[in-house]
Structure 1
Amino acid sequence: MSSQKTQLKCIFSPKSKGEIKMVRIKVPATSANLGVGFDCLGLALEQYAYFDFEEAEELLISGCDPVFQTEDNLIYQAFTYTLEKLGQKSRAIHLNIDSSIPPARGLGSSATCVVGGVLGAFALTKTPVDHYQVLQIATEIEGHPDNVAPALYGGLIASFMGENKIYTQKYDIHDSYRFVVFSPDFETSTKEARERLPEKIAFSHAVANQSKLVFALASLASGDGELLQAVQTDQLHEPYRKVMIHEFDDVAAFAREAGACSVLISGSGPSILAIFQEEVPIEKLRTQVSSLQHEWKCYTVNVDLGGAGIC
C-alpha cells in the first residue's frame, strides 16, 4: 500500500481565549485474526472511538474511567511519543474520549487509542499526514500492525513486519456478507491469551492454516459462503483461546444454527464475530443469548472502509 499525504484541518474552539487549536479524531474498532489469519489479518468495523484534542495549560483527560485520567493514558502516551518523533515540543492538552468500543473485549480498543493519539499529534501540530509514517509509529507503540493497520486504513487488511518495512495489503469483501458481534460482560487479557498458545505446533497444522488462508481471502472477496465455511477452521490459536471464553460453544452454536458461514474469536477474545450472508436473524440471536448466564450484547455491524481520520 503506497504512502499517502493528507493535510488535516484544524478546528478552532470559539469558547477558548484566543485561538486554541482543537481537533477531533475518529478511529474504527477492529477485529483481528479472522480465524485462519492469525496475527496477519484485521478488519475495520463501523463502531467508533472519537478523541478530541485541545491545547491547554495542564493535562486534563475526560470521558473515561478516572483511573485512566493520568499521564499513563495510552492515548496521551501515543500523542507525546509522536510529538517526539515529529521533533515537536511536548505540550499539555485537554483530551476528551467518546468511545463505543469496550476495552479488553477483542475489538481493538488499544490499537484505536494508539492510532488516535498518533493522528492527534499530527493534526494538532498541523503536520501533513504520511499514512505509512503513522503506521510505523503506531506499530512501534502497539508492537504489531494487525490491528493498527485496519484501524488506520479501513477495510480488510493483511500485514506483516519485514526487517526494515511494514507491508500491508487491502482485500475486498463481498457486499453479501453481514457481520454480527457478540460481546460479553467479562474481559480477557491479551497477555494471558498469548500465553495460552503452545510453543510448538504440528507441521500439518501450519500447512493447513496456510492453505486455508489463501482460500479464506478468496471467499471473502467472491462471496462464496460455502467455501468460507469450509476453510475457517483455525488450528493455531482458536482451540487454545476459546476455553477462556465462557459460553463460547453456546454462542457459536446459536450463530451456526442461524446460518452463519463462519464463527470466529475476535482478536484474542472474548468477543465473537459471526459472518452471515444476506439475512441475519438478529432478534432470534438476541433472545437466545439472553438465556445464557453471562450478559452478551449482540449487534450487526458493517465494515468500515474509510479508516481513521479527522471529523
Structure 2
Amino acid sequence: MMSIAVRVPATSANCGPGFDSLGLALAMYNTFTFTPMEGADTYSYTFQGLGADILEQENPEDNLIGESMKKLFAVVGEEGVFGRIDVSIAIPPARGLGSSSTAIVAGLMLANRLVKKPLSKVAMLELANEMEGHPDNVAPALLGNLICAVQDGAAGLCYGKISVPYSLRFAVVVPDVLVSTEYARSVLPTQIAHKKAVANVGRAALLVTALQQNKPELLAVALEDMLHVPYRKELIPCCDEVFAAAREAGAYGSTISGSGSTLIAYCNESTAHQVVEAMVQVFLRNGIECIGEVLTADANGADYI
C-alpha cells in the first residue's frame, strides 16, 4: 500500500471580535505522511521542524493524529489501518495558530483516503468539531479562507465560508512566550456588560462585511474586541506596544491569534513587510525572541499532496 500525504494550513481563530465563531486559514502548513505497515497494530511517529523535540516526548497513544484516524475508522465501521506517521512542522505549536487542529484534520483526511466509503468534508468537519470542541480552528483548517461557524444544539454545526480579498496580507509575529489555551480561557470574565456585548456583535458583523465587500479600511474598527483580547493581552508582554507599532507602520488593525501568544496584523500587500518588521522590533527591544512572517490566506484548506 502506498504512502498518503496531506497538507493542512495554520489557522487564526477569533479574528478579533468573532470569539469561538470566526477562523481564518493561513498559508503556513504542517505536512503529514502516513505509511501503512503490514502487521502493525498501532501508530509510530517521526517529527521534524518546529517543536519536534517536544512532540517526540509525548505518549504516542495520546497523539491526536492517530486518535482522529481511529475515530474515522470507527465511524465508518471499517477495520483500522496502522503504520508510521511522519510529520513536517512549520506551524509553531502552542502559539495560537491551530497546530492541534492540523493534527485532527490530518488524521481524518489520512484515514478517509483508506476507507471503502469515504466521508464528505462536511461529515469530517462534524467529527473534527467533536474532537476539538470549537469549530473556529478546525473549520478553516479543513475548508480554507474565513469561516464563520456556530454550534447549535438543535441545528448542529452551522457555517459559511467567505473569500478573503487577494490584496490582504497578514503580518504574523510569534513571540517566545507560551500561553496555554486552558489558562487563556481561565482569565476571561464569566459575565460581561450588555453594552460591550452589543458593541462586539456590531464589530463581528462589520468584519465580515469588510471582507465580503473588500473594504479593508473598516478593519481598524472591525478588529476591535471586548470579549477576550482585553484580558488575554495581559498574558503577552508588550502586546499594546506591538499593536501600536503595527498601526503606525500601516496596518489596518491587529489582534491576538487564537488564545495567543501569536499576534496578527491585517495589512495591504504594499505595507505588510514593514508592518511585520515593526512588530518584531518591539519584541526584540524588550528582550523577547520572536518569529515574524507575512502570510496570505489559504483558500483551499487541507488537501492531499
TM-score by length of 1: 0.89
Give the match for residue 224 of structure 2: 233
Quote how far apart the aligned CAs of 1:97 are.
0.5
The answer as to 2:236 corresponding to 1:214 is no
Give the match for residue 107 of structure 1: 97
CA distance in 1, matches of 2:260, 2:277: 23
CA distance in 2, matches of 1:229, 1:287: 22
Quote how far apart the aligned CAs of 1:173 are.
2.1
What does 1:5-16 correspond to in 2, within 5 Å?
none
Matched residue SS, 1:246 = coil
Matched letter for residue 7 of structure 2 = K
Change (3 A) 1:172 1:91: closer
Q: 1:41 aligns with which of 22, 25, 47?
A: 22
What does 1:156-171 correspond to in 2, within 5 Å?
156-163=146-153, 164-171=155-162
> Deviations 1:75-100 (Å, cap 9, x if unpaired)?
11111111111112233211110120
Contact 2:173 2:279 in 1 (8 A): no
Give the match for residue 301 of structure 2: 307
Quote how far apart the aligned CAs of 1:251 are.
1.7
Change (3 A) 1:55 1:79: same
What does 1:40-119 correspond to in 2, within 5 Å?
40-56=21-37, 57-58=39-40, 59-63=43-47, 64=52, 65-68=55-58, 70-119=60-109
State the percentage of identical aligned residues.
38
> Deviations 1:246-297 (Å, cap 9, x if unpaired)?
2212221221110111111000000001011232214455445432311111
Give the match for residue 130 of structure 2: 140
When you count helix as a share of all residues, which structure comes out higher?
2
Give the match for residue 267 of structure 1: 258
Quote how far apart the aligned CAs of 1:74 are.
1.2
Quote how far apart the aligned CAs of 1:126 are.
4.8
Matched letter for residue 256 of structure 2 = I
TM-score by length of 2: 0.91
Contact 1:177 1:223 in 2 (8 A): no
Matched letter for residue 298 of structure 1 = G
Contact 2:246 2:278 in 1 (8 A): no
Give the match for residue 173 of structure 2: 182
CA distance in 1, matches of 2:142, 2:222: 28
Quote how far apart the aligned CAs of 1:133 are.
0.6
The answer as to 2:192 corresponding to 1:201 is yes
CA distance in 2, matches of 1:190, 1:88: 34
Matched residue SS, 2:285 = coil
Matched letter for residue 302 of structure 2 = A
Matched residue SS, 1:67 = coil
Quote how far apart the aligned CAs of 1:129 are.
3.6
Unmatched runs of 5 consecutive residues or more in structure 1 = 1-19
Give the match for residue 234 of structure 2: 243
Give the match for residue 298 of structure 1: 292
CA distance in 1, matches of 2:135, 2:258: 13
Shifted more, 228-237 versus 145-154: the winner is 228-237
CA distance in 1, matches of 2:279, 2:226: 27
CA distance in 2, matches of 1:277, 1:32: 20
Matched letter for residue 157 of structure 1 = I
The answer as to 2:141 corresponding to 1:151 is yes
Matched letter for residue 157 of structure 2 = I
The answer as to 2:235 corresponding to 1:254 is no
Give the match for residue 6 of structure 1: none
Alpha-carbon RMSD: 1.6
CA distance in 2, matches of 1:240, 1:295: 23
Contact 2:12 2:25 in 1 (8 A): yes
Unmatched runs of 5 consecutive residues or more in structure 2 = none
Change (3 A) 1:199 1:288: closer
> Deviations 1:10-41 (Å, cap 9, x if unpaired)?
xxxxxxxxxx2321011100000010111100
Matched letter for residue 235 of structure 2 = M
Matched residue SS, 1:124 = coil
CA distance in 1, matches of 2:77, 2:119: 14
Quote how far apart the aligned CAs of 1:190 are.
0.3
